[in-house]
Amino acid sequence: MTTTLNHTHDVKARSWLESANAPGSDFPIQNLPFCVFRRQGAGDVPRCGIAIGDRIVDVAKAAASFTRPALEAAMACGNTTLNELMGLAPSTLSALRSQLFNLLSRGTTTGRDLIEAAMVPIPYADLLMPVRVGGYTDFFASIHHATNAGRLFRPDQPLLPNYKYVPVGYNGRAASIQIGKTPVNRPYGQLRKPGTDAPGFMPCEKLDHEVELGIFIGKGSVQGEPISVDDAWDHIFGVCLLNDWSARDVQAWEAQPLGPFLAKSFATGISPWIITAEALVPYRVQPAARPDGDPAPLPHLVGEADQALGAMHILIDAHLASQRMRANAQQAARLSRSDSATLYWTPGQMIAHHTSNGSFLQTGDLLGSGTISGPDDTSLGSLLEITRGGSQPFKLPSGEERGFLEDGDELTLSGFCERPGFARIGFGECRSTILPALPVNKNSPS
């Protein structure tokens, strides 16, 4: 399991690019997250890049700076998605990171010209879907979220009997994944309003966000050869922010007995930056102990390394700014701060479970963590939970209230890792605005 610290994690390291050294920068030299971008206005094709400070390095353009095996990875950055790169051996990816780190380090002169010539300021780049996603699985790994959401539907039995045994997940629609900056039109859907017998087809009235992490699979696996819990991190390319937009009223009506479908498939936002598994090493932590009385996981979901450092300590904030707040230049209101270390299941357990029936994972598959909620009221990862199903509206500094999202609202996820003795690294943002429902169907109510 990838848990080795090396010189790329050195908190004292600095870059010759001063913007990377600014306190609070999401992209210091210890981070180096991947993206896919296109230089604005130049008619360029998409390329794979690495973020540092306020720049993106067009890695393939600087390929001559690298030696084998990093060179192979640098060349793969000439593609329009990260998929080829993601399928390379972790050691090759690590070599690229190491050489990039050295090339960008303060004091380095050799090769600096070439790297500088391959840099694009982030504001001059369009950030694009970084990965061609094959399969998208969304888990349900936060026991706090599962309990909070379950309580609204089943007060007597918030948590179902399988929860503490099965890392529950379901297949999402891969085509729904989009870069978070893309606006989201309020979806139409079938829903049954309280007090009515029959459903109607109308714009969603309970539109919600969900604070999640997305875990991208690097090296794939083979049918019939499950990935063990302790090998799982060798198959993780990196992690992004994920907003699993949800139409709660549609979901409540459609999801029995086969699970959510159209309530989720209209849009799923991800941040454009993928923080690599290697950059996350310092922020790996021991999973939270299971409460007394909880069953031990079944043996195929247990691993020594996973029990030691299988969880990730990533903090994710959700902020909301209404149209009125933005017009008045009011700061966005923080809805929540989630910590992925509070999840009941680790990424290793999710991956081992996913392949435990003999099925395989592919390079470019995306696993969502499920909504990350913590034990207290400031760490609830959806409005459903924050407002108790809309019954206790959230008060905005503008004087407005929100049960669920309104048209014009802007929802932003941001995330970071920090740990004493290590750098702070950031995830950037996953930010989208809600637009009104389109008159979507010629048979829709007008």
Footprint (CB under 8 A) of its own copies, residues 190-249: 190, 198-201, 224-226, 228-229, 247
By C-beta, is 260 or 390 nearer to its own copies? 260
Site for its own copies in 413-442 (CB under 8 A): 437-438, 440-442
By C-beta, is 123 or 299 nearer to its own copies? 299
Among 43-51, 63-71, 184-192, 397-405, the segment contacting its own copies (CB under 8 A): 184-192
Site for its own copies in 337-376 (CB under 8 A): 352-354, 356-360, 362, 365
The Cα 71–Cα 86 span in angstroms is 14
Asked if residues 386 and 394 have their Cβ atoms less than 8 Å apart, the reply is: yes
CB burial class (10 A; 0-12, 13-18, 19+) of residue 213?
A: buried
- Is 158 near its own copies (CB under 8 A)? no
Among 43-51, 259-267, 374-382, 406-414, the segment contacting its own copies (CB under 8 A): 259-267
137 φ, ψ (degrees, to nearest 5): -115, 135
Tokens of 298: 């079944």
Report the nearest approach of its own copies to the CB of residue 203 (Å): 10
Report the nearest approach of its own copies to the CB of residue 426 (Å): 30
Total residues contacting its own copies by CB under 8 A comes to 75
By C-beta, is 295 or 421 nearer to its own copies? 295
Q: Indicate which residues carry an active-site annotation.
A: 145
Provide the Cα torsion 344, 347, 141, 428; round to 10°.
110
3-state helix, strand, coil in the chain (%, to 5): 25, 25, 50
Report the nearest approach of its own copies to the CB of residue 390 (Å): 19
Report the nearest approach of its own copies to the CB of residue 147 (Å): 12
Q: Which of 71, 128, 166, 308 binds its own copies (CB under 8 A)?
A: 166
341 φ, ψ (degrees, to nearest 5): -70, -15
Site for its own copies in 115-144 (CB under 8 A): 134-135, 137-138, 140
Closest CA to 370 of 394, 350, 348, 354: 350
Asked if residues 220 and 160 have their Cβ atoms less than 8 Å apart, the reply is: no
Site for its own copies in 15-54 (CB under 8 A): none
Provide the Cα torsion 158, 162, 166, 171; round to 10°.
-70
Q: Which of 51, 76, 168, 333 binds its own copies (CB under 8 A)?
A: 168
- Is 109 near its own copies (CB under 8 A)? no
Site for its own copies in 369-408 (CB under 8 A): none
Ordered alpha helix ranges (H), 232-292: 248-254, 262-265
Asked if residues 125 and 50 have their Cβ atoms less than 8 Å apart, the reply is: no
Q: Which of 19, 176, 286, 398 binds its own copies (CB under 8 A)?
A: 176
Strand partners, 272: none
Q: Which of 262, 321, 386, 425 binds its own copies (CB under 8 A)?
A: 262
Report the nearest approach of its own copies to the CB of residue 444 (Å): 6
CB burial class (10 A; 0-12, 13-18, 19+) of residue 202?
A: middle
